[in-house]
Amino acid sequence: MSQAEATVPRRSLALSNDVLSVFYRLLAVGIICVVLSFISDAFLTTNNLLNVLRQASLVFFMASGLTLVILTGKIDLSIGATVGLSACVAATVIKATDSAMLGALVGIGVGAIVGLGNGLLVTKLRIPSFIATYGMLWVVHGITYYYMSGQSVYGFPAEFRAIGSGYFLGIPIPIYLMILFLLAGNFFTKRTTYGQQIYAIGANTVAARLSGIPVNSRLNLVFILSGAMAGLASLIYLARLNSAEGDIGETLTLPTIAAVVIGGTSLFGGVGSLFGTFIGGLILTLILNGMNLLGVSANWQPLITGLIVLLAVWLDMKTRSKTDASS
Amino acid sequence: MKKLFLLMSTLCVAGLAHGPALADGETIAVFTKNQTNPFFETVRVGAAAGAKSVNAKVIQYIPIKPDSIPEQMSQVEDAIVRKPDAILFTPVDYKALVPGINKMTAAKIPVIGMTDRPAGGDIISFVGVDDYRLGLETSQNLFKAMGGKGNVIALEGVKGTLTSTDRMRGFTDALKQFPDVKLLASQPANYQRLQALQVMENLMQTHPQIAGVFAANDAMATGVVEALAGANRKALVVGINGSKEAVDLIKEGKMHASGSSDPFMQGCLGVLVTVRALRKMPVPKELMVTPVIIDSTNWRDHDIPVEKRSCPKLDEVAAK
């Protein structure tokens, strides 16, 4: 879809496309689940489904902030690095002060500051977001390595660990947090002016600016939110893993971007939804879960993951061009 | 922005020049793979301690980007310009850095290999550990603790790395010696804590009875410990590296054992072998640090901060 096609007058159509694309994704999740439940007895159990949702929650927290950035047509490659730095700083604060609350605030704050840095690089210095956040990735990694100097910090108080490994009414707490953020995020993007402006900027930045939307301040906002969500994800990581070291963020960025894209958010901006991102993360998590349950050999796992990701995106593009053509 | 660059370059300098000049003896350039893995931090502390004990000095070269081949290549060129008396070299990639070794020897700087054996190049000696033996002995320790029977799970490191391949080969051979130990699954978790946690959570869904878990490094082993605790299940967990975190978990009884390749000793011996070569004393072609399996019986010997450990004497090294 070209940028001109997705301008404001066609909003209602973009929404119905959204609904359709989410529907196709749910269908994909359904197919994966049916196939897995036939080949593994362990798959369709309450335990395993809660297990999958809990694993998907970490991806969701990282990917939800990133979704907002991608909706504006920008990208944030510093997500993983930000998770690493936030986790390490929060971990040392918690160890030093024994205050989970202070650590949590600092962790989210560090993420928000990195996000603000990204935002300013993009809006003030006009550096393309791909380069700005790629540079930020190395700056943040560098600071993290220097800060940790090869050590790890571990062993956190139980009340802090509850947000990652605790249960309420038999359901893991991260799942509640994910649902909460999913609903709040969905409301923010679909029902508030801010959210609509984010879509409008991604659909056509020039038109958005001409119609009076404060583009730069909204871009700063999405980068700050992306950083803050990475900070929140780092807290869930810490609470689940009970340990932080300098390199934890290194492998997190690309799967996060994959979750957003599989979820149907267009890298060109203006199209997509948080609910789609949730499903994208769920699909990635289901693939790993399935391969583990079936005991797929290490030699084949990367290949299978790659093929399923390609298949998901290809199917999406196909269904998208069909609905576009039929309208 | 200027400030940002200033900060970055300060970080670079801080990353490169860990070792201050203390002695007026030989200068040894020490190359390690990254500043993120506690293992190499301990190697560097060992190297510095070894140098101090014989009045030599070390310059540390560490890629800012972890395990970066081009960065280590350019650091090799920097080192050649600075002309140290010898280079103690851990290649970030055992094949790709062979030309780097050739450059150093062409510049008439003697090279001693450390930790990861390069695939080629003219090195005077190699100090390291046998990852096969490490995998074998750590697995044997696990299977014995399981009473020679029961179900076991293996978590592999990054596919294609020498360390993971050799450790897994050791595990497989140990498995053959214990016919009543049954391998339920061998899955990759890429040396990552988070992946190990998730893979273990998934595997626990299909396998109600798991007696032991072999993880190819400690980061994965600690992920497994968290997964087990989260599901209220018990199994003997072993890892490899002998990290401080693993020793603490062994102390608390949450982890069974960790096979240590003694990074402090590798750093020490690397420098001492280099100094012996420079002082025209005989050196072994290869010096393998004996793996130590740390478990409930001997963790106290390894619960010493690295700063307080000491290197062997220069004369004792050849016999080690």
The domain B2-129+263-289 is placed in CATH, from the list 3.40.50.300, 2.60.40.1180, 3.90.180.10, 3.40.50.2300, at 3.40.50.2300
What is the model's pLDDT at position B8? 41
Identify whether the C-beta of residue B111 lies closer than 8 Å to the C-beta of residue B104.
Answer: yes
Chain B closest-CA separation from residue A278 CA (Å): 18
Question: What's the predicted TM-score (pTM) here?
Answer: 0.82
The C-alpha atoms of residue A61 and residue A255 are separated, in whole angstroms, by 13
Q: What is the pLDDT of residue A9?
A: 46
For residue A142, list chain B residues with Cβ-Cβ distance below 8 A.
8, 11-12, 15, 64
Least Cα separation, residue B108 to chain A (angstroms): 33
pLDDT single digits (tens) B153-168: 999 998 888 889 999 9
| Contact criterion met (CB < 8 Å) for B64 and A42 | no
Separation CA B292–CA B243 (nearest Å): 12
Residue A312 has a pLDDT of: 75
Helix (H, G, I), strand (E, B) or coil at A251: coil
Q: Classify domain B131-260 by CATH number.
A: 3.40.50.2300
For residue A167, give the chain B residue with the closest CA.
Answer: B230
Of A58, A139, A148, the CB nearest to B4: A139
Q: Tokens 């003697």 correspond to what residue?
A: B110
Give me the pLDDT at residue B39, please: 84
Contact A207, A10 (CB under 8 A): no
- If we measure between CA atoms, which residue out of B255, B290, B252, B289 comes closest to residue B114? B289
- Residues A276, A277, A278, CA angle at the centre, nearest 5°? 90
Q: Which of B11, B12, B193 sits opposite A241 (nearest CB)?
A: B193
Chain B nearest-CA residue for A297: B187
* Tens-digit pLDDT string for chain B (320 aa): 444 444 444 433 443 443 333 445 889 999 999 888 778 988 999 999 999 889 899 999 999 888 889 999 999 999 999 999 999 999 998 889 999 999 999 999 999 999 888 988 889 999 998 899 999 999 999 999 999 999 999 999 988 888 899 999 999 999 999 999 999 999 999 999 999 999 999 999 999 999 999 999 999 999 999 999 999 999 999 999 888 899 999 999 999 999 998 889 999 999 999 999 998 888 888 888 888 899 998 888 877 777 778 888 877 776 44
Quote the pLDDT of residue B67. 86
ipTM (interface pTM): 0.85
- Per the CB < 8 Å rule, is A125 touching B199? no
A327, part of any domain: no
Which helix (DSSP H) or strand (DSSP E) does residue B283 occupy? none
- Give the residue among B113, B40, B106, B165 at the shortest CA–CA distance from B270: B113
Q: For B83-217, where are the alpha helices, taking DSSP H only?
A: 98-106, 131-145, 162-177, 193-206
Is residue A326 a part of any domain in this protein?
A: no
Closest CA to B154 of A48, A285, A252, A295: A295
The rounded Cα A166 to chain-centroid distance in angstroms is: 22
Q: Which of B34, B194, B201 is the closest to A241 by Cβ? A: B194
User: How far is it, in rounded angstroms, from Cα A200 to Cα A194?
Assistant: 10
Task: Give the 3-state secondary structure of residue B105.
Answer: helix
Tally the domains of chain A: 1
H or E element, residue B65: none
> What per-residue confidence (pLDDT) applies to A16?
65
Helix boundaries (H) for B54-192: 69-82, 98-106, 131-145, 162-177
Cβ pairs bridging A and B (under 8 Å) = 122
Report the pLDDT value the prediction gives residue B9, as an integer from 0 to 100.
Answer: 41
- CA A223 to the chain's CA centroid: 13
- What is the rounded distance in angstroms from the CA atom of residue B257 to the CA atom of residue B221? 10
Closest by Cα among A287, A288, A95 to B197: A288
Q: Which of A241, A253, A291 to mutate to test the interface with B (most CBs of B within 10 A)?
A: A241
User: pLDDT digit of tens for each residue in chain A (327 aa)?
Assistant: 444 444 444 444 555 666 777 788 888 889 889 999 998 888 888 889 999 999 999 999 999 999 999 999 999 999 999 999 999 999 999 999 989 999 999 999 999 999 999 999 999 999 999 999 999 999 999 999 889 877 889 999 988 999 988 899 999 999 999 999 999 999 999 999 999 999 999 999 999 999 999 999 999 999 999 999 999 999 999 999 999 988 888 889 999 999 999 998 888 888 899 999 999 999 999 999 999 999 898 888 889 888 888 887 787 777 666 555 544
Instruction: Provide, as residue numbers in chain B, all residues whose Cβ is less than 8 Å from the Cβ of A143.
Output: 11
Which residue range forms the structural domain that includes residue A35? 4-321
CB distance B197–A145 less than 8 Å? no
Ranges in chain B annotated CATH 3.40.50.2300: 2-129+263-289, 131-260
Q: Which of B39, B205, B232 is the best residue to mutate to test the A interface, defined by the most A CB atoms within 10 Å of its own CB?
A: B205
Q: Nearest by CB to A152, which of B35, B192, B245?
A: B245
pLDDT of residue A323: 55
Q: Which residues of A touch B192 (CB under 8 A)?
A: 248, 251
Helix, strand, coil % over all residues of chain A, rounded to 5: 75, 5, 20
CATH number at residue A310: 1.10.3470
- The 10s digit of each residue's pLDDT in B73-110 is 999 999 999 999 999 999 998 889 999 999 999 999 99
Helix (H) or strand (E) holding A270: none
